[in-house]
Amino acid sequence: METLDKHFRELTRAAFARHGFAHGELLARWPEIVGEELSSASEPERIKWPRGASEDARKAGGTLVIRAAPGRGLELQHQAPLIMERINRFLGYGAITSVKIVQAATWARNAPFIAPVPAKKLYEQELVTIEDNSLKAALERLGAAVATARSPSQNK
């Protein structure tokens, strides 16, 4: 009996090769390779090999392009040596000599759903402890204005 793994590699080889991956294991095992914390904020996009991607050129090492979640690019750039070390250990040779971080505009991968809390409930809980009625009224007006304010992205 044959396994699907053998056929899957053959079917996906061309697609992965277009992005510089010999096969999909680096993509599939990304969380295992770099760790849960780094993988939740990044994913490999492609490997750029030196021109003339012959066997000798690949031994010289390539550049791994990583897509980073918004706001996490700098952190990942500081972790680049660790990422390179882990990938090269996984592949068994110095395949990656540099890392390029590309900041993603949006990020939906592994994003936990957080139900929005009505803003009015948040500020009403804090206002209970305030004794000065004029201060409390001013803060209620401020809270109501903030709760109904539109974000800059909604003004477009």
Check which CATH number belongs to the domain holding 11 and give it.
Answer: 3.30.300
Better-predicted residue by pLDDT, 94 or 108: 94
Q: Check residue 82 and give its pLDDT.
A: 92
Lowest-pLDDT choice from 14-23, 45-54, 100-109, 138-147: 14-23
Instruction: Give the pair of three-digit tokens for residue 94.
Output: 């110095």
**Cα 104 to the center of its chain, rounded Å:** 8
Strands 42-48 and 62-68: antiparallel
Q: Does any domain span residue 136?
A: yes
Q: Is there a single domain that holds both residue 96 and residue 125?
A: no
* Overall pTM > 0.75: no
Same domain, 81 and 123: no
- The total number of structural domains that make up the chain: 2
pLDDT, tens only, 57-95: 566 788 889 999 888 889 999 999 999 999 888 888 888
Q: Does residue 123 contact residue 139 with C-beta atoms inside 8 Å?
A: yes
114 belongs to a structural domain: no
Residue bearing the bigger pLDDT, 122 or 110 = 122
Q: Which domain holds residue 147?
A: 119-155
Q: Checking phi first, is residue 44 left (phi over 0); if not, alpha (psi -120 to 50) or beta?
A: beta
Q: Kindly give, in sequence order, each residue whose CB lies less than 8 Å from that of residue 28, ignoring residues fewer than 6 positions away.
A: none
Check residues 97 and 123 and name the one with the higher pLDDT.
97
Q: Among 21, 17, 19, 43, which residue's Cα sits nearest to residue 30?
A: 43
Q: What integer pLDDT is reported at residue 77 of this predicted model?
A: 92
Counting residues of the chain whose pLDDT is more than 70, the rounded percentage is 62
Range 90-101 average pLDDT = 86
Residues 51 and 124 in one domain: no
